[in-house]
Structure 1
Amino acid sequence: MSKPKLWTKDFISISLSNFFLFLTFYILLVTLPIFALKEFHSSASQAGLMTTVFLLSAIISRPLAGQWLERAGSRKVLLTALIIFAGASLFYFFPKSITGFLIIRLLHGVGFGIATTAAGTIVADLIPSSRRGEGMGYFVMSINMAMVLGPFLGLLAVQQWGSSWLFTLTLVVAIAALLTGLSIKLPKKEQKVEPTVQSSFSVRNLFEASAVPISIVGGFLAIVYSALLSFVSVYASEIHLANVASLFFVVYAAFLLLSRPFTGKWLDQYGSNVLFYPCIILFAIGLLVLSKADGAFTFLLSAALIGLGWGTLFPTFQTIAIQDAAPNKRGLATATFLSIYDTGIALGSFFIGLVAAKMSYSSLYFLCAFYVLIGAVLYYFFHHAKKRETSSKLKSQEQ
């Protein structure tokens, strides 16, 4: 019996659109703080707000996006968000103050939050249910590739050609996200929006309850991932490995790519528990190796281990969040997962920074290795044990 097709035109289009969305995000993530410090002579805290305001607006908009997806349809919401995202990218040419840039970052974050939520929902609908783990793994690769390429392109543009070229590049990439989004043609059954009974506003309606437990696990571990995003290049300089710092996420992505054809299929065949525990151990070992890195080999070995570990865990969590929700709640489940995950990234960037000020980065990553093992305990009680209990109840009812 042949497998249902995964690599359709629409799956490729939504993956490309997602790639261009995150490519824009990562291009600006590393360059706007530098731009603010250089052009406006702002303080470090003001420069940091460039990222904070963007993430906060994305986090706040995602639960609302989950509801809009149910009512308006995923393609319509995606295209609206991509237009907002591309429009905000155009406005970067005009502000003459840090305040103006923060307003644009607010708008840009709204477009990003809604668009990524819609993209996650669309891809969940496009992937055959029997290949969901494999498909989500490949889809999330679009984020990983943007994470590697974005900082490189952004720094190249701002250092070699100046801010005007940086914002031109950002606009071109944002338009590419819109154009690839426009090419998506969902099946009629996916475009149909069932009428819903209007109810009074409630915070509960902004989140999908079934997705909350695994989202908390993902958000908890995202705090450690933020320590890698924010400080691994600083740590590399501290241990005299600045010349290989840029290769960390290249190796991370390379090993993630090598493992993806297997890990996604294993998730579909054997379930999340078989995949989770080895990967969380690999993540912890990778952090331990990073904390003790004394040369290029051990530094890049840690990137490979973390790529195999965390690089597999993130799409696994998102797949679980979607699978545990009813089909008509996938949009809300995606929004719930990404909101809680991004909250972990935002909190991590702040609190890990406070901790890093009190100890060496080596000690920080050493502690992070043990922190992620607590995530294994959370996973067991929030997902593994609950699933086993549900399975036992179903078996007893059948008997």
Structure 2
Amino acid sequence: MNQTKQPIWTKDFLSISLVHFIVFVIFYTLLTTLPLYVINELGGSESKGGLVVTAMFITAIIIRPFSGKILDWGGKKNILLITVVVFTISTFGYIWVDAFAPLILLRIFHGLSFGILTTATSAIAADVVPDARRGEGLGYFTMSMNLAVVAGPFLGLTLTQFVSYQFLFVLLSIIMIAGTLSAFLVRPKEIPKAPSKESGKTSLRDLIEQKALPIAAASSLVAFAYSGVISFISVYADQLGLASVSSYFFLVFAVTMLLSRPYLGRLFDARGPRIVIIPCLFIFAAGLGLLSFAEGTVSFLISAALIGVGYGTLLPSLLSLSVQAASPERNSYATATFFMMFDLGVAAGSFLLGIVVTYTGFSMLFAGSAVFVVLLCGLFQMMLDKKQASAAEHWRQQEVESSSR
């Protein structure tokens, strides 16, 4: 029986994807509206507005290395339900917070549940997707996060023009209840835990999946390059006199990602990672390059399309490689390691590129990012060569063992 015929769109997969999508809609809606809330409603400064964003990122990054251990200890389904309830309670908290200090504390608390919850959803998705269709399946799954990049800011920025921030927070809380109910529908398969050599002791090597770390670290460099887009695209569009079309950038990004994902996901599974990852790095670089000298609406939106195909395909492909690098019982640790490095790449990029752009301007920043991504092609080429050589050696050893029996 051909394994590729195993279904992806099962009840468990749809349910966990919906949870993931709703969580990230909440995340990106708050990401874009809370700085405005701090400035306009709480009388805070721009720096305080930025701090409410950074606080959640920092706590999510700190908890990531421990997420795999937490999932291993409590079970993926149990931790999923606990963290989705805590995340929902945190979302309700914004309704009553009316001062900056408690808002920061709420963001810290929210970040802890966010870091564990998104690790749980990703690890469960990797479990419920058939092994032979993992690239395609995880491609569809991560698409929910990329769609939230469009839906969240659009929802938040549109509604705040017509309703109060409190109304927005109430609406987000109601939406999150739907996510909580979806989590209860998930029935993940529980993979037996690996036997522990030293019970009671936990080292850094236990928390971080060493086999997934190289690809996760390389992926953080891709996230670093992308952080310039997500952080500065609206400001850059305003500088170009394209503020009226800036909201369409991520819409075009999402559409091209949706159209290309099914084909490229199947290609990843059928032909291997090299034929997808290397071309998509070049497409991503081309999008950044075009963005660097965009002067009108057409070139601006074409760059969005290229970035949507390139970067939009890279994220699930690299996540799939990270999961494949680890043994099944270390799935949670591999997922946590990947997203820890990804978050670090975005956070570091947003901070460092923010400094760089004050000296170079946006055009040079995106041009430099394009060159940086092209250079990454060499790094990924070497990593994929090593992976291929390791796989070939593994098969040779198996053939020798089978022939000697």
Corresponding position of 1:142 = 144
Q: CA deviation at 1:33?
A: 0.5
Look up the SS of the partner of 2:202 in the other structure.
coil
Alpha-carbon separation, structure 2, partners of 1:240 and 1:148: 21
Partner of 1:111: 113
Match of 2:367 in 1: 366
Provide closer, same or farther for how the CA distance between residues 193 and 295 of structure 1 changes in structure 2, counting only shifts above 3 A. same
Contact kept in structure 2, 1:27 and 1:153, CA below 8 Å: yes
Q: RMSD of the alignment, in Å?
A: 1.5
Matches of residues 310-325 of structure 1 in structure 2 within 5 Å? 310-325=311-326
Alpha-carbon distance in 1 for matches of 2:337, 2:82: 20
Q: What amino acid sits opposite 2:77 in the alignment?
A: R
Q: d(CA) in 1 for partners of 2:395 and 2:289?
A: 42
Equivalence map 1:135-214=2 (5 Å): 135-187=137-189, 190=190, 196=196, 198-214=199-215
Match of 1:98 in 2: 100
CA distance, structure 2, for counterparts of residue 107 and residue 117 of structure 1: 16
Distance in 2 between residues matched to 1:287 and 1:326, nearest whole Å:
36
- Residue in 1 that maps onto 2:252: 251
- Gapped regions of structure 1 (runs ≥ 5): none
Cα distance in 2 for residues equivalent to 1:184 and 1:267? 26
* 1:73–1:193 CA contact under 8 A, matched in 2: no
Shift of 1:118: 0.4
1:1-399 to structure 2, matched below 5 A, reads: 1=1, 3-187=5-189, 190=190, 196=196, 198-381=199-382, 383-394=383-394, 397=397, 398=399
For 1:310-337, what per-residue CA distance to the aligned partner results, in whole angstroms no more than 9, with x for missing partners?
1000000000000111000000000000
* Shift of residue 201, structure 1, vs aligned partner: 2.8
Task: State the distance in 2 between where 1:70 and 1:235 align.
Answer: 44
* Count of aligned residue pairs for this structure pair: 396
- The one-letter amino acid of 1:368's match is S
Q: What is the rounded CA distance, in whole Å, between the counterparts of 2:44 and 2:374 in structure 1?
A: 39
Deviations 1:30-70 (A, max 9, x none): 00001111122222221111111101111111221100111
Letter matched to residue 363 of structure 1 = M
CA apart distance, 1:292: 1.1
Q: Provide Cα deviations, 1:99-157, integer angstroms capped at 9, x if missing partner.
A: 11010001111111111100011011100001000000000110111111110111122
Name the CA distance, whole Å, in 2 between partners of 1:88 and 1:391: 45
- State the shift of 1:192 in Å: 6.1
Question: For residues 94 and 156 of structure 2, what CA distance do their matches in structure 1 show?
Answer: 14
Q: Is the 8 A contact 2:240 2:295 kept in 1?
A: yes
1:380, distance to aligned residue in structure 2 (A): 2.5
Structure 2 residues without counterparts, runs of 5 or longer: 401-405
Q: CA deviation at 1:384?
A: 1.2
**Separation of aligned partners in 1, 2:375 and 2:178:** 41
| Structure 1 residues 370 and 198, CA gap change in structure 2 (3 angstroms) | same
Task: Tell me how far apart the structure 2 counterparts of residues 114 and 262 of structure 1 sit (CA, whole Å).
Answer: 31
8 Å CA contact 1:17–1:177 kept in 2: the answer is: yes
* TM-score, normalising length: structure 1: 0.96
Q: Deviations over 1:149-183 (max 9, x none)?
A: 11011112222101111111221122222111111
Aligned partners of 1:81 and 1:111 also within 8 Å? yes
The amino acid of 2:52's aligned partner reads M
CA distance in 2, matches of 1:262, 1:145: 18
Amino acid at match of 1:45: S
Deviation at 1:193, TM superposition (A): 5.7
TM-score by length of 2: 0.94
Q: More deviation in 52-61 or 198-207?
A: 198-207
Contact 1:280–1:310, Cα closer than 8 Å, also in 2: yes
SS in structure 2 opposite 1:360?
Answer: helix
Q: Residue type of the partner of 1:74?
A: K
Contact 1:72 1:193 in 2 (8 A): no
CA contact (8 A) 2:119 2:339 kept: yes
- Aligned partners of 2:58, 2:271: CA distance in 1, in Å? 36
Q: Secondary structure of 1:249's partner? A: helix
More displaced stretch, 329-338 vs 66-75: 66-75
Q: Identity across aligned pairs (percent)?
A: 40
| TM-fit CA distance, 1:191 | 6.9
